Amino acid sequence: MIKDMPNPYLEQIEEAVSYINQQVKDVPQVGIILGTGLGQLIEHIKIDQEIPYAKIPHFPISTVETHSGELVFGKLSGINVVAMKGRFHYYEGYHMKEVTFPVRVMKRLGIRQLIVSNAAGGLDPAFEIGDVMVINDHIDLFPENPLRGKNLDGFGVRFPDMSEPYALELIDKAIKVADQKGIRIHQGVYVGVQGPNLETRAEYRYLRTIGADAVGMSTVPEVIVARQMGLPVFALSAITDLCSPGKIKKISIQEVIAAAAIAEPKMTAIIKDLVSEM
């Protein structure tokens, strides 16, 4: 009988975890992935340690100019957290196992919950630039699944249930926080696409027709992996451009960042209060 060969991917995860554990003393309870233009939350973390991705064994390197590429450890609202300053995207040329590698690592470091943020285009005609949308479901249009290949049994089952990808309890808490703070907030469905080009008008119509309220190029792969590992997930989208009929216009990355800056204080306020209750 042939014995199972060592899994290089698992070995890479363990090597990254081992290196980080040598640098960091406190076990993080919450993992946070910060999206494009949404780094202000870092200013509210009492930082203990910052580790550049380039120093962590097997960690991908962000190639997007707005993603600085550091793993930040510290306390947010009194809770030990680890925050990714910059994420990885399929469009950068990474495989999905590379895109989601940090989520596997954060789970092995000890996180119990995952918070994800992103910049997204608003498909719902009611959305305005700078609005915040709580993601309550998603549609996966990526051409590759991060769970494809031999299952990592130590992380979860082969066929994870995805009927509730986002934690309803956390969504309810976030809505209450927003109401208390007078923050305009929406709930909706996020659709993840490959990118990096933005969509055509016909594609926007198609995405709206199939049930999406916002569109972006991230988040879904990380959430799939997190849910396979049993991590509750909370996710927010900053609406940075409008994609409904009559509101579509050409947009630059600078305009996306400027729009994210409008949503950023709202998202920071919600996440801070949410973490305090975790």
Reported as a single tens digit per residue, the pLDDT across 76-134 is 999 999 999 988 999 999 999 999 999 999 999 999 999 999 999 999 999 999 999 99
Q: How would DSSP label each residue in 88-109?
A: --GGGT--HHHHTHHHHHHHHH
In the chain, alpha helices (H): 8-23, 96-99, 101-109, 168-181, 201-209, 220-228, 253-276
Residue 267 has phi, psi (to 5 degrees) of -65, -40
Paired with 80 in beta bridges are 75
- The answer for residues whose C-beta is within 8 angstroms of residue 81's C-beta and 6 or more apart is 28, 29, 30, 31, 32, 45, 73, 74, 75, 275
* Fold of the domain spanning 8-276: Rossmann fold (3.40.50)
What's at 265, amino acid-wise?
Answer: P
Inter-CA distances, 182 with 38, 46, 175, 272, Å: 20, 26, 10, 15
What's at 82, amino acid-wise?
Answer: V
Please give the share of the chain, as a percent, with pLDDT higher than 70. Answer: 95
Q: Could you tell me if 151 and 229 are in contact, meaning their C-beta atoms sit under 8 angstroms apart?
A: no
The predicted pLDDT at position 66 comes to: 56
Reported as a single tens digit per residue, the pLDDT across 20-73 is 999 998 999 999 999 876 778 899 999 999 999 999 999 988 766 555 689 999
**Distance in Å from the first CA to the final CA of the chain:** 47
Break the chain into its structural domains and give their ranges.
8-276
Reported as a single tens digit per residue, the pLDDT across 41-53 is 899 999 999 999 9
Mean pLDDT of 194-199: 93
Q: Could you tell me if 171 and 268 are in contact, meaning their C-beta atoms sit under 8 angstroms apart?
A: no
What sign has the CA pseudo-torsion 198, 247, 39, 180?
negative
Q: Could you tell me if 69 and 62 are in contact, meaning their C-beta atoms sit under 8 angstroms apart?
A: yes
Cis peptide before 196 (omega within 30 of 0): yes
d(CA 37, CA 34) in angstroms, rounded, equals 8
Reported as a single tens digit per residue, the pLDDT across 243-278 is 988 888 888 888 888 888 899 999 999 999 999 987
Burial code (b: 16+ CB inside 10 Å, e: under 16) for 72-89 equals bbbbbbebbbbbbbbbbb
Decide: pTM greater than 0.85: yes
Reported as a single tens digit per residue, the pLDDT across 164-184 is 999 999 999 999 999 999 999
